[in-house]
Structure 1
Amino acid sequence: MTQQQQQAEPTSTSAKILYRPVGIASSIVGGLLANLIFKKVWQRTAPRDVPDDPPNALDSGSDLKTIVLAAGLQGAIFAVVKVLVDRGGARAFQRWSGEWPGN
């Protein structure tokens, strides 16, 4: 089935309902994975004078530049991991059910 065929066929209500637990579980796993990846990347790429733990907005010991850098890096990693996990979960669901869970 091509990508255009997937988008042309509406998803049944039952497929959407059955996909919800899969989507929730994959989102949780994806968030944990993204957090782990971000912490590892931060430890390797953080400026030398910054602790290994990434700063947050309320961290009084970090300057705004470092906090914004960490937030941008974290956002980019979370976005990419989310897309990969969501897409992978949708494809696995399609192989299992024969229906694309979106649209």
Structure 2
Amino acid sequence: MLYTPLSIATSVGGGLLASALFRQIWKRVDEPDQPPPDPKDLERSTAKALSAAALQGLVFGLVRAAVDRAGAHGYRAVTHESPA
């Protein structure tokens, strides 16, 4: 029962971390002064819009898995029981 609020809090923090990480990576991939392309912005190329979406999905999935894994390890270290 204690794990659910912990999981929600770490998920929110992980989402903020993933968003910041994605923006930093995209600055190095594309022009640093432009934000990642919005899929509805037809002034930017389709390749850029789809590449940004794929990279964003990769970053969010990776950060989510890392945060969930770290939260589970932390929970087990404190309570000596598995959160699953």
Q: Which residue in 2 is equivalent to 1:45?
A: 29
Q: Distance in 1 between matches of 2:41 and 2:76?
A: 44
TM-score for both structures, normalised by structure 2 = 0.93
Q: Which residue in 1 is equivalent to 2:3?
A: 19
What is the total number of aligned residue pairs between the two structures?
84
Counterparts in 2 of 1:6-85, with a 5 A limit? 17-46=1-30, 48=31, 52-85=34-67
Q: Distance in 2 between matches of 1:21 and 1:58?
A: 35
Q: Which runs of 5+ in 1 are unaligned?
A: 1-16
Q: Which runs of 5+ in 2 are unaligned?
A: none
Identity %: 37
TM-score for both structures, normalised by structure 1 = 0.77
- Return structure 1 stretches of 4+ with deviation > 3 angstroms: none
Q: Does 1:90 align with 2:68?
A: no
- The one of the two structures with greater contact order (alpha-carbon pairs below 8 A, sep at least 6) is 1
